[in-house]
Amino acid sequence: MKKFLIVLLSLGLIAAFGMTASAADVKFGGSYYVVGFYDSNDMLQDTGKAYSRAAFYQRVRLQPVFQIAEGLTFTARMDALERQWGNANWGGSDVTSSRRQTAVLNPKIQESFEFERGYVTFMTAIGQFQVGYQSTGKWGTDFGDSEASRSRILYVTAAGPVTILALYEKAFEADTSTGFAGKADADATYAAVAGIYGFPGGSAGLLYYYIGSNAGRPAGGRFLWNVLAPYVKAQFGPVYLESEVMYTWGKSFESELPAVKDVDKSGWNAYLKVQTNLGPATIGAQVGWNAGAGNDPTKDKAGYGGGTDWNPALILMNNDYNDWKAGGLNTSNSGKQNFLLYQIFGSFNPTPKLTVGGALTVAENDKLQRSGGVDFVSKKLGTELDATATYKLYDNLSYMVGAGYLWTGDAFKGTNSAAVVGNDYMLMNKLTLSF
């Protein structure tokens, strides 16, 4: 019997290797990075205690695209070893949706190999469809974007110079989620329609995005937002310009209980960036603004947010850095809410492979923050000076070193005018491979 099973297995393997592959072509892409950093004063306080941090972190990413037939592909994406070097928190359960090593929660954030995306793309007579777990949260410029992977159906078609998009996303399914038994209508669903007009040297687009969540019903209420977001990107000779405005309205809290008041939503944010190329040098400036929520408990006037993809400085409002170091007072601004930021920047290529750059950033709150009904002592978040140098070791391999110094603003005193804040500096290096 044992010999029969061995022969049967051998025949099965021969048949498997002899079969014609269903995919005509497979293209692999991906990336790898490893970052090391030292943060001298993570808590931004001047108390005589040491709040420094130092660590390495990395991520491996693979993205194969299977060409099944003309106009038909399947795309997957897998992340592996997304962790800090030497991190011992490689056990327990995944308790957060962030895929970073959050030492505060002490979880295993990432499996050793995780499928994050899988979707089919196919052309039809009326346009292109993408169905499955795919990229979401991207529109126009990086400002306001928080790219993630979410299940959705995307439709794209062209009408002359205009590209038309429509999508449906399922963000939360209540039917089979723990704690939501019998709440079939407690789902969270998103939908959008958009148009992009292409012209020589740039593009302009307009997006309408609906965000609806019933997960809090009835006591927690519903969350219903509408977002209108126009953008433009344009090249005028050596000058490049990009801008985006977002208006958000609806309900941040819609109650089904008579004694509980609704919270109306009406918020703005805006972004503008201009830069010019001067031979081997580039100089530019950018402004980012996200309105604060205000103090009226029945009105939420906060903007949509600056997003996790827009990281204007090395310390201030850098979500990648704040995620990985997992804590520290300056994470309070990494959500990019309630801010006004100005920056001038520049870069220079002394050789084709070497780029050196710098940026000066000034940031403050749009409205005074409050805690326990008491205003913070200041709006000032701080002023930061950054310098970087990037060298291309190969066409697909680069090495970057950077340094940032933050003159901490008094907003980090909170409501205590007697508190003493401390300045912070950060040193980092990063090796990046793309393929």
Higher pLDDT pick, 161 / 52: 161
The answer on pLDDT for 242 being more than 70 is: yes
The answer on pLDDT for 265 being more than 90 is: yes
Q: What is the pTM of this model?
A: 0.86
Instruction: Give the mean model confidence (pLDDT) for residues 373-394.
Output: 96
Token pair in block for residue 264: 């109306």
Q: Which of 390, 267, 284 is nearest to 339 (CA)?
A: 267
d(C-alpha 32, C-alpha 27), whole Å: 17
pLDDT of 90 reads 53
pLDDT of 155 reads 98
pLDDT in tens, 269-323: 999 999 999 999 999 999 999 999 998 999 999 999 999 999 999 999 998 887 7
pLDDT of 187 reads 84
Phi and psi at residue 324, to the nearest 5°: -75, -35
Total count of residues recorded for the chain? 435
Instruction: Give the mean model confidence (pLDDT) for residues 346-356.
Output: 97
Give the ranges where 276-391 is alpha helix by DSSP (H): 319-325
pLDDT of 330 reads 52
d(C-alpha 338, C-alpha 336), whole Å: 7
Confidence of residue 30 (pLDDT cuts 50, 70, 90): very high
d(C-alpha 54, C-alpha 4), whole Å: 59
DSSP state of 412: G
Is the CB of residue 58 less than 8 Å from the CB of residue 81? Answer: yes
In percent, the amount of the chain with pLDDT more than 70 equals: 84
pLDDT of 112 reads 64
pLDDT in tens, 419-435: 999 999 999 999 999 99
Averaged confidence pLDDT in the chain: 86
pLDDT of 85 reads 86
Instruction: Give the mean model confidence (pLDDT) for residues 362-375.
Output: 93
Is the CB of residue 343 less than 8 Å from the CB of residue 336? Answer: no
pLDDT of 324 reads 73
d(C-alpha 334, C-alpha 106), whole Å: 21
Helix (H, G, I), strand (E, B) or coil at 385: strand
Higher pLDDT pick, 356 / 220: 356
Instruction: Give the mean model confidence (pLDDT) for residues 206-218.
Output: 87
d(C-alpha 291, C-alpha 52), whole Å: 32
pLDDT of 17 reads 38
pLDDT of 219 reads 63
Q: Which of 389, 410, 405 is nearest to 313 (CA)?
A: 405
pLDDT in tens, 76-129: 999 988 888 887 665 433 333 344 434 344 344 455 678 899 999 999 999 999
Distances 189 to 144, 173, 211, 318 between C-alpha atoms, Å = 19, 9, 7, 28
d(C-alpha 184, C-alpha 261), whole Å: 25
pLDDT of 100 reads 43
Q: Which of 360, 430, 429, 358 is nearest to 387 (CA)?
A: 358
pLDDT of 256 reads 77
| Cross-strand bridge partners of residue 74 | 66, 120
Q: What are the domain boundaries of the chain?
A: 148-279
Is the CB of residue 236 less than 8 Å from the CB of residue 248? Answer: no
d(C-alpha 388, C-alpha 403), whole Å: 7
pLDDT in tens, 326-340: 554 454 455 689 999
pLDDT of 326 reads 57
